[in-house]
Structure 1
Amino acid sequence: MTQLPPEHHDPERAATDWHALLASGPPTPARSDSEPAGGTPPPPAAEAEGRPMTRREAREAEQRREAAAEGAGAGVPAPARPSEPASPPLFDAVLADPMAADPSVGASPHTEARPSRAERRAVTSDPFEPEKPKRRGAWGCLIGLLIVVALGAVAYFFLQGPINALVERFTPAADFSGSGTGEVVFMIHDGENGADIAENLVDEGVTASYDAFYDLLLEQTPEPEFHPGAYQLAEQMSAQAALDALQDPANKLENTFVIPEGTALQDALVAISEGSDVPLENLQAAAAEPPASYGLPAEATTLEGFLFPATYTLEPGLDAHAVLQTLVNRQFEALDAAGVPADQRWRTVVLASIVQREAGSNLDDFPKVARVFQNRLDQGINLESDATVAYGTGNTHTVWTTDAERADASNLYNTYANPGLPVGPIGNPGDVAINAAIHPADGTWLFFVPVNLATGETVFSTTVDEHDAAVSRLQEWCALDENASYCE
């Protein structure tokens, strides 16, 4: 076992690592009273004794020589600044190379410990140098990106409505220019307001948008008055041109009215009265007369289904019965033109009235809808038409029904609870529906459902699973706030 040098047993040198040296600063050599300031320091005790110097004595001797040299250059030894102690040679050596401070370091297990990397970094680093930013890894960048996207999505969700409203407010409504082309007989019905008229003008192809006409009404002072009746308009008129035409008495047509396709009997009587000089009560009384007096099939109990939808201009002086007979005769002409035999008129009109109410505005869907109902009749499957159920409850303006209404078998128009065709027509069908009833499309469909009530897009299905998927699409469409009015 190697013996420790004598200095290692000195209690004052128990801490021999370079940390203690940095903390305490260089030792101050003792000077006798006889030593002159700035003179040559006395030789070390080791030289006087004729023995080798220890490392401590060698270090103290070096410090004395440096202090003497500085004193000689300045004349007077400069006192050390308390806040900035002079670095001993060992400190400089450690900073340059910790292993070079003493040639014996590393050669003996009893030498002073080498400072760690963290300790060396603490000594050599500049306390005033700003800390270098840490490099962000790939995961940090990804998380930051996800946070930005999430915040953007939240902002868009909450601001989408206000932004869209702001854009719509400052975006001019779609509008045509000029007085239009062609001819359109437009009906204003009793009780309709400006909003109703604005909507009907768009439906008839007169104006380009609801807002173009309705916003124009809001700017008028005083507020315009509208009178029931038929008016001569044109297609693709500007909102201003349409308003001017409806306010001009010269455009009001006498003894003229329009019956739209699918209109129910009670609504057709109102339209006739508004466009002619025949009172509504007279028309209602004439409609209550036996259907056979109008030449209807024996199965008929009312005039429903046999008042052909069209635009009529009647000769003045006709009574109520004569007016209704004019519409019935027009329906017979349409059936004959379609090639329907007299003994098939009843069945054709009943089926055509369901197709008219269920098919919507897409004329290409009429033959497909007729095929669905015909396939069900052929296979003994109930028609399950909501339009027939609604008609039986007295609601002729919708095809929406409730579970209780669909379960009520006492409603003879309920084709959910009762098999086959209903007991009668549910409206007045036009030419397209009649032709579809006698010439259905080819297909195996048993179901259909509209998935967009604004455009009339309809999905036809053969299996229950296909139909359920289409119904889900309709429910999702109706769940949107902007579509709520279509689904009421």
Structure 2
Amino acid sequence: MTHLPPDRDDRDLATADWNAMLSGDAPIRAPRAADAAPAPVPAAQTPSDAPSAPQPGPEGRPMTRREAREAEQRQAAAAEAAAILAEAGEPTAPAAHAQPNSTLPLFESIVAEPAAPETDRPSRAERRAVNSDPYEPEKPKRRGAWGCLVALLIVVALGAVAFFFLQGPINAVIERFTPAADFDGAGTGEVVFMIHDGENGSDIATNLVDEGVTASYDAFYDLLLEQSPEPEFHPGAYQLAEEMSAQAALDALQDPANKLENTFVIPEGTSLPDTLVAISEGSDVPLENLQAASVEPPASYGLPAEATTLEGFLFPATYTLEPGLDAHAVLQTLVNRQFEALDAAGVPADQRWRTIVLASIVQREAGSNLDDFPKVARVFQNRLDQGINLESDATVAYGTGNTHTVWTTDEERADASNLYNTYANPGLPIGPIGNPGDVAINAAIHPADGPWLFFVPVNLATGETVFSTTVDEHEAAVARLQEWCALDENASYCE
């Protein structure tokens, strides 16, 4: 350690020491006793709270150059930390008791004495309130895109549910205040309309639409409900016209002058029992006499040897008979008309039986779409040619006695004892299943060209029918029919 002369004053000593330190020729001097002595502790401050004075180097010697450099680095770090806190807006409390000549770094003084708690500092919410415009309304929070999408989906779902449950009532209200379709006036042309025994107003309303007399069921039936007393209808044939208003049709059916004597209508496909009823309703021949005449030997009417009844040979048409004919003569008139139709179609006498049997199946299976008759005939002819069972539900139903339907059950289709069952028995059935008309006869002898082996109607209201070649195609069409029948408004067609 270097000793300094005693006669040098403190200013000269400080200058010499500083120059020597900078030149590296002398170590930094040790602090004097006066410099190292701690400042008096205020009365309110305990000795333990007072900051310590700068400490000399190890063992009381002056700090080396390395120790001085480390002290400078600590002071620089403290200054940088203070600058950072200042930029962040955080106030720094200086150490009030630090000595001017103390070498204690600023950072250490901050750590040694933490700042007093800022009890008067406003909260973040208070600062935000102070800085905001009191007259400016608070901005609503923006809803995220997902929130809007979810809300939209909820609205759509609720609307769909409401529409589902209210669709029926809404349609009912619309139908209630929407007038039924109706024609104007007395119509044109001529239509012989039959009223059968036991038919009610609803049946007549349906038949009028089917015959092209009125525009809609509701137009006629609603008119009946308004009548007081309720109109009475009598079986028989009536002279009407096409496209009549509901009121004009009702007036004509109530007028005895329009009832045709000895006149009746046999629709295509009508079975033997229903044909006899229609004849009795439009003529003066009792039903019992007609039934007795129908079981006379078929040969007495000139039928083929294969025939066991008159089924299939009573031609469907409108008839006006001469008064006084007995039951046998009336039935003979219908048989002769069937022979005329077969001859006009070019059917040889020895082919009459087969033609009538096949035509009766086509008539019952083809429905109302006349364009489908040749295609239906081709399906059955292809099956006969390939040795495939016809599988006609109409033949099965006829064999069970259900002559008004083509719907069958699994048990009925499996019953081989039913000789009309073309599911369980090969080839044509043992006889006709109804009385075919001209269109069905022509289709039986002139089937369309095509590879089809299956057909099924997919809309019984319009008669739309799908013709298929493969089992998969046919099953897909059957599924369409089942879906159509599952709708409530179509249930009556599928019974």
TM over 0.5: yes
Distance 2:308 2:314 in 1: 14
Q: SS at 1:125's partner residue?
A: helix
Select the residue among 255, 259, 264 that pairs with 2:266: 259
Residues 1:180 and 1:10: Cα distance change in structure 2 (over 3 Å): farther
Distance 2:399 2:390 in 1: 15
> Is 1:125 matched up with 2:122?
no
TM-fit CA distance, 1:218: 0.4
Distance 1:132 1:380 in 2: 84
> Is 1:459 matched up with 2:466?
yes
The percent of aligned pairs where both chains have the same amino acid is: 86
**Corresponding letter in the other structure for 1:120:** R
Distance 1:122 1:395 in 2: 92
Residues 99 and 114 in structure 1, CA contact (< 8 A), matched pair in contact too: no
TM-fit CA distance, 1:124: 2.3
Match of 1:338 in 2: 345
Residues 1:10 and 1:207: Cα distance change in structure 2 (over 3 Å): farther
> Is 1:276 matched up with 2:283?
yes
Select the residue among 150, 153, 156 that pairs with 2:157: 150
Match of 1:39 in 2: none
Match of 1:438 in 2: 445
TM-fit CA distance, 1:142: 1.2
**Corresponding letter in the other structure for 1:166:** V
TM-fit CA distance, 1:122: 4.9
Q: SS at 2:241's partner residue?
A: strand
Which structure 1 segments of 5+ residues have no match? 15-96
Match of 1:175 in 2: 182
Distance 1:103 1:331 in 2: 125
Distance 1:202 1:154 in 2: 36
Distance 1:353 1:159 in 2: 46
Distance 1:377 1:338 in 2: 22
Distance 1:481 1:99 in 2: 78
Match of 1:68 in 2: none
Q: SS at 2:293's partner residue?
A: helix
Distance 2:412 2:292 in 1: 30
Match of 2:411 in 1: 404
For residues 308-387 of structure 1, the aligned pairs below 5 Å read: 308-387=315-394
Q: SS at 1:274's partner residue?
A: helix
For residues 91-110 of structure 1, the aligned pairs below 5 Å read: 99=89, 108=107, 110=110
Match of 2:432 in 1: 425
Residues 98 and 114 in structure 1, CA contact (< 8 A), matched pair in contact too: no
Match of 1:243 in 2: 250
TM-fit CA distance, 1:145: 1.0
Residues 1:104 and 1:139: Cα distance change in structure 2 (over 3 Å): farther
- Size of the alignment, in residue pairs? 397
TM-fit CA distance, 1:139: 1.3
Select the residue among 229, 233, 251 that pairs with 2:236: 229
Q: SS at 2:403's partner residue?
A: coil
**Corresponding letter in the other structure for 1:199:** T
Q: SS at 1:225's partner residue?
A: coil
> Is 1:471 matched up with 2:459?
no
> Is 1:218 matched up with 2:225?
yes
Q: SS at 2:413's partner residue?
A: helix
TM-fit CA distance, 1:131: 5.5
Distance 1:405 1:220 in 2: 45
TM-fit CA distance, 1:123: 3.2
TM-score, L = length of structure 2: 0.76
Rg larger for: 2
Residues 269 and 284 in structure 1, CA contact (< 8 A), matched pair in contact too: yes
Distance 1:187 1:122 in 2: 95
Distance 1:237 1:262 in 2: 26
Post-superposition CA distance 1:137-166 (Å, at most 9, x none): 221111111101110111011111111111
Residues 1:121 and 1:368: Cα distance change in structure 2 (over 3 Å): same
Residues 1:270 and 1:137: Cα distance change in structure 2 (over 3 Å): same
Distance 1:335 1:319 in 2: 25
Match of 1:185 in 2: 192
Q: SS at 2:278's partner residue?
A: helix
TM-fit CA distance, 1:120: 2.9
Distance 1:484 1:188 in 2: 25
Distance 2:123 2:313 in 1: 105
Match of 1:63 in 2: none
Residues 1:104 and 1:347: Cα distance change in structure 2 (over 3 Å): farther
Residues 372 and 448 in structure 1, CA contact (< 8 A), matched pair in contact too: yes
TM-fit CA distance, 1:136: 1.6
Post-superposition CA distance 1:232-277 (Å, at most 9, x none): 0000000000000000000000000000000000000000000000
**Corresponding letter in the other structure for 2:382:** N
Post-superposition CA distance 1:327-364 (Å, at most 9, x none): 00000000000010100000000000000000000000
Distance 1:150 1:437 in 2: 55
Residues 382 and 418 in structure 1, CA contact (< 8 A), matched pair in contact too: yes
Residues 1:10 and 1:158: Cα distance change in structure 2 (over 3 Å): farther
Residues 1:114 and 1:235: Cα distance change in structure 2 (over 3 Å): farther
Which structure 2 segments of 5+ residues have no match? 1-37, 50-86, 96-105
**Corresponding letter in the other structure for 1:412:** L
Match of 1:30 in 2: none
Match of 1:481 in 2: 488
Residues 406 and 414 in structure 1, CA contact (< 8 A), matched pair in contact too: yes
Q: SS at 2:89's partner residue?
A: helix
Distance 1:98 1:180 in 2: 99
TM-fit CA distance, 1:172: 0.4
Match of 1:58 in 2: none
**Corresponding letter in the other structure for 2:124:** R
